[in-house]
Amino acid sequence: MMQLETALQTKWAGRKVFWQEEIDSTNVWAKKYARDFGSEEMQGALFLADKQTAGKGRFDRIWVSPSGENIYMTLVLWKPPIEPWKASQLTLVMGLSAAQAAKEISGVRAGIKWPNDVVMSGKKICGILTEMHMEKDKPEYIIIGVGINVNQKKFPVELCEKATSLYLECKRELDRISLVAKVMEHFEDHYERFLQTGDLSLLKEDYERILLNKDQQVRILEKGEESRGIARGITPLGELLIENTDGTMRKVFSGEVSVRGLYSYV
């Protein structure tokens, strides 16, 4: 991973790289490593694999992870100075970083479907899974897993409608290392801004600029119930602000709900 080290312009994010050709899941690997060998030096460690045999998605879904074409990586934050209930906000910080990096590398506009799916032409190109380990009442480590569909040429029929890759969107193969480096650079910068206020206040404007749900009708699926409203933006805590059909406002928290467009995924 010498190439990554040369490409990176960060102080700490991705400075220590672990690479495996094949692994069950980079999230599982990073967690085991942090558990067994955890120390200050783990701050910013990045676990990368070319293929995952048991890639994990949100809501216990599977993240299909073929070899040779995509990015599967997990970033470790060691003893982050944040309250545990704020960990999910880091998923939005990473979503913003991945969307900006994907756009810069491919030249194609990338948007965000709240809370953290990165989307091009209405289809997902990137998913993020954040996990935390607590020691007493503080996070000992938070790991942020990122999967980006980079050079994948084909998707199984069941995913075709919902998933795409940068290759399919910009019609050329892209360098995975440069993309990883760009994601790390944006993340480091955004994370430092996040720590300044302990929330998303300083990132909200950038996030909302590419938030695809903004001013759109959404369906909110919550504990088996479906309701509708118009998404108006996010709060500094990363909740989605919804204007209800009667004009009142409410906030929805990412752990609890799933949001869809009226007729489509976004």
Which residues of this chain interact with ligand BTN, rule CB under 6 A?
A: 25-27, 52, 55-58, 61, 63, 72-74, 127-129, 145-147
Instruction: Write the CB contacts of 248 (distance below 8 Å, at least 6 apart in sequence).
Output: none
54 vs 195 by CB, closer to ligand BTN: 54
- The minimum distance between CB 112 and ligand BTN, in angstroms, equals 12
Gap between the Cα atoms of 50 and 23, Å rounded: 8
Gap between the Cα atoms of 62 and 89, Å rounded: 22
70 vs 100 by CB, closer to ligand BTN: 70
38 vs 55 by CB, closer to ligand BTN: 55
List phi, psi (to 5°) of 44: 85, 0
- The minimum distance between CB 31 and ligand BTN, in angstroms, equals 10
73 vs 105 by CB, closer to ligand BTN: 73
Q: Are 148 and 180 within 8 A, CB to CB?
A: no
* Angle, helix 176-197 to helix 89-106, in steps of 10 degrees: 140
- The minimum distance between CB 77 and ligand BTN, in angstroms, equals 15
- The minimum distance between CB 243 and ligand BTN, in angstroms, equals 26
54 vs 134 by CB, closer to ligand BTN: 54
Q: Are strands 257-261 and 217-222 parallel, antiparallel or unpaired?
A: antiparallel
Question: Taking CB positions, which residue lies at the least distance from ligand BTN?
Answer: 127
